Amino acid sequence: MTDQVLNIGITGLHCGSCVGRAEAALLALPGARDVRVNLADHSARVGGVAATDVVTALEAAGYPARVDHLTLSVPGMSCASCVSRIEDAAGRADGVLDVQAHLPTRVVQVNTAGSADAVMAVLAEAGYPAQHETEAAPTDDPAARYLRRFGIAAALTLPVFAIEMGSHAVPAVHDWVAATIGQANSHILQLVLSFAVLAGPGAGFFRRGIPGLIKARPDMDALVALGAGAAFLFSALAVLAPGLLPPSGVYFEAAAVIVTLILLGRWLEARAKGRTGDAVRRLLGLRPDTAEVESGGTFAPRALDAVVVGDVLRVRPGGRIAVDGVVVDGATHVDESMLTGEPVPVLKSAGDMLHAGTLVTTGTLTYRATHVGRDTVLARITTLTEQAQAARLPVEALVNRITARFVPAVLIVAAVTFVLWWALAGLAPAVVSGVSVLIIACPCAMGLATPMSIMVGTGRAAELGVLFHKGAALQRLQDARVVAFDKTGTLTQGTPSVMHVAGDDAAIMLAAAVEQRSEHPIARAIVAFTPASAGQVDGFEAVLGEGARAQVDAHTVVVGNAAMLAREGVASEATLMDTGAGWAADGYTVVHVAVDGAHVAALAVGDAVRPGAKDTLADIAASGRQVAMISGDAAPAAQYVARQLGIEHVVAEVRPDGKVAAIEALQDQFGPVAYVGDGINDAPALARADVGLAVNGASDAAIEAADVVMMSPDPGAVLRALHISQATLRNIRQNLFWAFGYNTVLIPVAAGLLVPFGGPQLSPALAALAMALSSVFVVTNALRLRRAGA
């Protein structure tokens, strides 16, 4: 806020000249006033400019602001209008750079160059006391709290409802009440019981709602307090001072039922909300509490927090890996579905990586810890999931702007309804109509429509091995009209392997024996293709860029390209050369084999297409999207893979800037583009695409540039990400349609618009029930996403 004088902590101040340079940077800001930099406490004081401008100017001068990232728990956040008021209030605190309130978890995240105390003070003043999330009571279960309040309210409300509504509906009940306790005593009893409901379990509505009204910042609690309070006060005056009001009925049951039913809705809502966080809780639950750690030659249980990098651990069949590590001894299949979404267990043996939370199936493994605590892949997945669940989509910003103005608009509609009914039909119908409008219009469902779907959808995505690194990607991904893939490591395995063989099998065995002495990737591919090769190898010699030769069991063996054959004076065999030329045209690397001066075999080494890639791309195309491939590889290799997978749009032999240009061309031609890659050279393209998706094993640069991180290398993960995005946005649209449609239809009904035409008018009690159930509907609908993408 530019009308504030900000107090901001800064770093890097060492002397008087530092102070002068920092002050000069701040004075250069347009509108800056009251500038003072204090060397003693390393702070800057400045007015007339925004906190973000101050931080930018100080950083440019070499004196960065001390920015704290606060996570505050705000139990009083109950509706969408609360969200906007909390964000506005926190934004007024000294030094606040940005703030985001998250309704489902009742958490506020603040980046501030000021103090946490300043933020908490302005929130308390606004009626939303906050505390650091780590200080929040871990045993405070909102669902249990609302259930207790609902139980007490229901017990007190039932006699009121039975007496009043029973007397209206059944004449015998009316006669029994009059004969047993008397009509006047009946009203006094109802007054006492309904007051107990409002002052006891319903007190929170008044405690939060009335200050909001006084400060002209009404929220949902204010609507409930006004509605229930108006019904109670009208009835109390009618009973205690009957001369002040014209003859009319009493509505104690309406006041009590409103509070009781809304508490019922809050309980059901809180209970359902608790299930929306199941994904993160399940992820955390995959981590064992203890691990078997080697000490003095034996393995003994140790608390997980006490495990450090370098410890040697053991896991038995059926156990879960405790920390990330590398296998030292043993071999077994490990179920990694919680990371990758892939159901097939993976064979792990010495040298293979293990990840915390994965499940050992049959054998026992010994492994050395490489990453522990917050550094494990499981911990990072949990953090990314929590961040994605707290994300705010562009559509949510629009909803919050609407709901921020909705409550004041409802107050106006309720006031107009009250005045019109009072003028046309009397005070009692006016109270009923005005209270019904206040209650039916509570915007809970609107506020929950988007964040609940995001919370469940991103949690489900994490279970399927898809992490939305940047929350807005959840909305943008479903808009993508093109899905473009890098080739190597994305559509293909990323490592060379022998794809075709021609010639003498015995010669291939001899070639593998030679290549066992080489570290070249192609040599490793040949050895992997013929692991049983053996023989006495002597005189191994590698020729850079051409191949290698050696003596194997008294045979002279030459392995390499055509130039290597010519160097060794080997006459090429025509059929093998023609076959090799065909392979080369398809982008393969051709390796020839000569034994004792005769050209006897040839191999095609290439990068194999990933299993399932063709079906995945076909499904993406069937969804109405274009599929493209953008690769830095040679055009023949790229075109060959494209033909195998049915890809029409191919751009090959491009450097990183060329990939960016290719994406821009696709955007101009088709619209939003999603790009899938894994390498450092893919980072610019991932950043330029409307949505960037990094596959498993991607470089750090690619992951940082990407919006979505997929834990599986299978291209099918892209399809799962698309399905989750589509399902979540469809769910949000359903929720918003219900929330806005509900209010659009029922507010006029509650106002009595249909009464002159013989239509119904909602009573306050029915209005409370409808409002409560609307929120429950939205949360329950969001929970359907737990089955999405299956």
Active site residues: 486
**Contact status, residue 594 vs residue 572, Cβ threshold 8 Å:** no
d(CA 574, CA 433): 96
Amino acid, single-letter form, for residue 619: D
Q: What angle do CA 763, 764, 767 make, to 5 degrees?
A: 90
Q: Are strands 691-694 and 673-677 parallel, antiparallel or unpaired?
A: parallel
Write out the two tokens for 712.
Answer: 């599986």
3-state secondary structure of 761: coil
User: Which residues make beta-bridge pairs with 65?
Assistant: 10
Q: Are strands 649-651 and 626-630 parallel, antiparallel or unpaired?
A: parallel
Torsion from C-alpha of 304, 309, 314, 316, nearest 10 degrees: 60
d(CA 467, CA 388): 8
Q: Which residues, 6 or more positions from 664, have their beta carbon under 8 angstroms from its beta carbon? A: 688
CA atoms within 13 A on the CB side of 682: 30
Report helix angle 394-425 to 220-240, nearest 10. 20
Q: Which residues, 6 or more positions from 265, have their beta carbon under 8 angstroms from its beta carbon? A: 444, 771, 772, 773, 775, 776
d(CA 483, CA 485): 7
d(CA 627, CA 613): 12
d(CA 420, CA 415): 9
**Contact status, residue 264 vs residue 150, Cβ threshold 8 Å:** yes
Q: Comparing C-alpha atoms, which of 471, 483, 453 is closest to residue 708?
A: 471
d(CA 49, CA 6): 8
**Contact status, residue 728 vs residue 786, Cβ threshold 8 Å:** no
3-state secondary structure of 547: strand
